[in-house]
Amino acid sequence: MTDIETVDLELVADVTVECVARTDPEAASPDPELSERAVGFVVDKPPAFGGTDRGPMPSEYFAAAIASCNMMTARRIAAKRKVGYEQIKCRALVHLEGSDIDKVVLAFEVVSDAAVDDWETVFRLADRTCTVSRATKCAIERTVRVRS
């Protein structure tokens, strides 16, 4: 990490993320079992944005967080509602307008015998409860394709 920082101070960022979690919000202090964790990330920009392409951009990490949280939540909801599936895939499109994120479009592709309406409901409920969606201000849109 330090090497990369030295190589190109202006463009590559290395950040460490730690998690402080209370599973029970009423608890007086964080759960130590969930808090002993630190993950490192290398962040860069593609050459078209003036970077050296040694890692994803911040906005791509942002979209990955939204997409994966929605997907994991959707799986839990599908299981609870007994909506069966073989696979769920998600492609997230980040729409940047100048230096602002205009919207993130989640394109879900599901292999399932269930109706597309069932899946629309699953993904709508997922977006409403997903941790990252709830912490996000920009628009999150979605498309759902189901094939058996």
Provide the minimum distance between the beta carbon of 46 and a copy of itself in the complex, in angstroms, as a whole number.
Answer: 6
Question: Is residue 146 close enough to count as binding a copy of itself by CB under 8 A?
Answer: no
Q: Which of 17, 28, 82, 148 binds a copy of itself (CB under 8 A)?
A: 17
Which is nearer to a copy of itself, 118 or 133 (by Cβ)? 133
Give dist(CA 128, CA 133) in Å, integer.
7
Burial of residue 58 (number of CB atoms within 10 Å: 0-12, 13-18, 19+)? middle
Site for a copy of itself in 25-44 (CB under 8 A): 25, 30-31, 33-34, 37-39, 41, 43
DSSP state of 25: T
- Give the C-alpha separation, 74 to 78, whole Å: 6
User: Of 3, 28, 29, 100, which lies in the binding site for a copy of itself, with binding defined by CB under 8 A?
Assistant: 100
Give the number of other CB atoms < 10 A from CB of residue 10. 8
By CB under 8 A, residue 115 contacts a copy of itself: no
Which residue is listed with tokens 């130590």? 32
For residues 50 to 89, the per-residue mask of contacts with a copy of itself, x marking binding by CB under 8 A and - elsewhere, is: ------xxxxxxxxxxxxxx-xx--x---x-------x-x
Identify the residue among 9, 28, 82, 148 touching a copy of itself (CB under 8 A). Answer: 9
**CA distance linking residue 94 with residue 62, whole number of Å:** 9
